Amino acid sequence: MVNSWWDFWVEEALSKLQSLKLLRSLRPIHLIPFPSQQSNQTHKPQDLDLQFYDGLRQWDRASVEVQISEPTFQKWLQEIPSSGDDSVMGESEADNVAGACGGKFKKLLIFSGNDYLGLSSHPAVIKAAVKAAEEHGMGPRGSALICGYTNYHRLLESSLADLKKKEDCLLCPTGFSANMAFITAVGSVCLLLTEEGELTKDERVAIFSDALNHASIIDGIRLSEKQGNLVTFVYRHCDMMHLDELLSSCTMKKKVVVTDSLFSMDGDFAPMKELVKLRKKHGFLLAIDDAHATLVCGKNGGGAAEKFKCENDVDICIGTLSKAAGCHGGFIACSKKWKQLIQSRGRSFIFSTSTPVPIAAAAHAAIHVARKETWRRKAVWNRVLDFRAMTGIPITSPIISLVVGSEEKALEASRHLLKSGFHVTAIRPPTVPSNSCRLRIALSAVHTQDDLRKLTTALAKCINFQEIGFYCTNYSAKL
């Protein structure tokens, strides 16, 4: 096997933790419903009573349509900083504002969210959350290693492991914490396998990171670097020749390659098939952050690895439930050994409170809905084709990155779209480098062709589709 060495190192690390009595254990508990809810109608989380639909319904639009007050709208146009106070006004104050603006509200169509399938407003997802909240409240409140791991959490983990074709899965509070937990756990391996004393360079883990990886990956690497666990190599964005050169010249045994599968700010995919070839050549551990591809890509929604038919070649699949699942939380799909290591050494997992039970129940329902209502995935990709046809821009995913250059140009374009009724934010430094400011547009299954026609008409009045920059791949993130 390609990663037999990593299997050996993880087993040795687990043995060391066992000998030191530091191997941490999840503590599954079954919740007792509130007294008022105890009856023959009490439901177990596995008793899914979900209704599925074969097409767009009225409630789906709630995930892409919002309204804002006229004063708030004017503040946005003038780029006046806001603390959000106008969204939590008292009743009398709200009445005064409504009176001052004639009770007018501006309706906006969201093209900047990550709810790719529109599941945040699905009746089955709402019903699952409500039912769990009515029966159990928001508790129990504690980390998964103390008292916060329930049968709801375990069922969600199992459904995610099945989705990703992995042996097991570990839930984390967010996708950010999932990346942090994995990388700090990787860094701990060399410490556990080395006798006391300062680590030599060859004893550390060599981690190879794409230049445009998500901030959570970068921060996890920074933390482990400061602890002296990792040596980092940043390869040019999606440049497999550069990665091959770095791997070939690296004498360290413990190698890990980590990359976003679908890059959130550029909308391009990692070259999965080329990564698999390099994995076979160099024997590294391959980890992908599948946040934006989960439930969106692949016939069953398995993500980028399913789309590119390489599920067995991805060792660790990290993701989030806050995007296409329409809920909240993160996860790490992996082997049982890796799960045991991460739950014992992943700091952001160990020291965080578990996902509230209603959220776990809602996410579990969302996974089932996404797999059953396949029309949603098809609709997303149909919108991708529609956008390509309407603009001539060769996008390859529901994430559209229109690089306009300066902050002034990006803000001006965003203001024009706001006036036209579209919520599309300008992405500026420090999220992206200077002079690569952009409009980031995200397509959803619940956007219609008519929505796209109106959007592209508005876009054409503030940018030139023939001159617009597309993938910004000529810079490297600094670690």
At residue 226, the 3 state secondary structure works out as helix
Q: What is the pLDDT of residue 29?
A: 85
Domain of residue 96, residue span: 59-118+375-460
| Same domain flag for 330 and 342 | yes
* Residue 37 resides in a domain: no
Q: What is the pLDDT of residue 91?
A: 47
User: In DSSP terms, which residues pair with 262 in a beta bridge?
Assistant: 269
C-alpha span between 136 and 374 (Å, rounded): 31
Q: What is the pLDDT of residue 34?
A: 74
Residue 152 scores a pLDDT above 90: yes
* Residue 247 resides in a domain: yes
Mean pLDDT (the chain) is 90
Last residue of a domain, one of 372, 398, 415: 372
Q: What is the pLDDT of residue 434?
A: 85
Which segment of 19-23, 46-50, 145-149, 238-242 scores lowest on mean pLDDT?
A: 46-50
Neighbours of 244 (CB within 10 A): 16
Residue 332 scores a pLDDT above 80: yes
C-alpha span between 466 and 464 (Å, rounded): 5
Backbone angles phi, psi at 262, to 5 degrees: -130, 115
Q: What is the pLDDT of residue 324?
A: 98
Q: Cα 327 from chain centroid? A: 11
Report the number of distinct structural domains present in the chain: 2
C-alpha span between 204 and 69 (Å, rounded): 55
Last residue of a domain, one of 355, 372, 389: 372
* Residue 398 resides in a domain: yes
Q: Which residues contact 274 (CB under 8 A, 6 or more apart)?
A: 240
What digits encode the pLDDT tens for the residues 441-468?
Answer: 999 999 999 999 999 999 999 988 887 7
Model confidence at 27, in pLDDT bands (50, 70, 90)? Answer: confident
| pLDDT, mean of residues 120-132 | 96
| Same domain flag for 92 and 156 | no
Residue 401 scores a pLDDT above 80: yes
- Give the single-character DSSP code of 249: H
Residue 38 scores a pLDDT above 60: no
| Same domain flag for 208 and 273 | yes
Q: What is the pLDDT of residue 479?
A: 41
* Residue 216 resides in a domain: yes
| Same domain flag for 110 and 140 | no
Specify the higher pLDDT residue, 413 or 140: 413
| pLDDT, mean of residues 184-201 | 87
C-alpha span between 58 and 40 (Å, rounded): 33
Q: What is the pLDDT of residue 383?
A: 98
Residue 83 scores a pLDDT above 90: no
| pLDDT, mean of residues 86-104 | 53
* Residue 51 resides in a domain: no
| Same domain flag for 114 and 145 | no
What does the block give as tokens for 97? 């504002």
* Residue 465 resides in a domain: no
| Same domain flag for 189 and 335 | yes
How many degrees, rounded to 5, is the angle at CA 164 between CA 147 and CA 271?
130
Q: What is the pLDDT of residue 76?
A: 86
| pLDDT, mean of residues 103-110 | 87
| Same domain flag for 24 and 85 | no
Contact (CB, 8 A) for 213 and 289: yes
What digits encode the pLDDT tens for the residues 283-323?
Answer: 999 999 999 999 999 999 999 999 999 999 999 999 999 99
Model confidence at 81, in pLDDT bands (50, 70, 90)? Answer: confident
Cis before 45 (ω within 30) = no
C-alpha span between 122 and 458 (Å, rounded): 29
What does the block give as tokens for 464? 């030139």
Q: What is the pLDDT of residue 32?
A: 83
Contact (CB, 8 A) for 331 and 169: yes
| Percent of the chain whose pLDDT exceeds 70 | 90
Model confidence at 42, in pLDDT bands (50, 70, 90)? Answer: low
Specify the higher pLDDT residue, 31 or 166: 166
Q: What is the CATH number of the domain that holds 388?
A: 3.90.1150.10
C-alpha span between 366 and 363 (Å, rounded): 5
C-alpha span between 89 and 79 (Å, rounded): 21
| Same domain flag for 169 and 268 | yes
| Same domain flag for 235 and 364 | yes
Q: What is the CATH number of the domain that holds 287?
A: 3.40.640.10
Q: Cα 247 from chain centroid? A: 27
Residue 472 scores a pLDDT above 60: no
Q: What is the pLDDT of residue 35?
A: 72
Q: What is the pLDDT of residue 33?
A: 84
Model confidence at 79, in pLDDT bands (50, 70, 90)? Answer: confident
Q: Cα 8 from chain centroid? A: 30
| pLDDT, mean of residues 358-371 | 97
Last residue of a domain, one of 372, 398, 422: 372
Which segment of 20-29, 88-97, 384-393, 409-418 scores lowest on mean pLDDT?
A: 88-97
In our burial notation (b when 16+ CB lie closer than 10 A, e otherwise), range 38-58 reads: eeeeebebeebeeeebeebee
| Same domain flag for 313 and 332 | yes
Model confidence at 101, in pLDDT bands (50, 70, 90)? Answer: very low
What digits encode the pLDDT tens for the residues 402-430?
Answer: 999 899 999 999 999 999 999 999 999 98
Nearest Cα to Cα of residue 168 among 339, 285, 414: 339
What does the block give as tokens for 67? 């309204």
What digits encode the pLDDT tens for the residues 218-276?
Answer: 999 999 999 889 999 999 999 999 999 999 999 999 999 999 999 999 999 999 999 99
Longest dimension (CA), the chain: 73
* Residue 44 resides in a domain: no
* Residue 34 resides in a domain: no
C-alpha span between 275 and 280 (Å, rounded): 9
| Same domain flag for 150 and 294 | yes
C-alpha span between 456 and 400 (Å, rounded): 12
| Same domain flag for 263 and 141 | yes
C-alpha span between 379 and 256 (Å, rounded): 36
Residue 471 scores a pLDDT above 50: no
| pLDDT, mean of residues 174-201 | 91
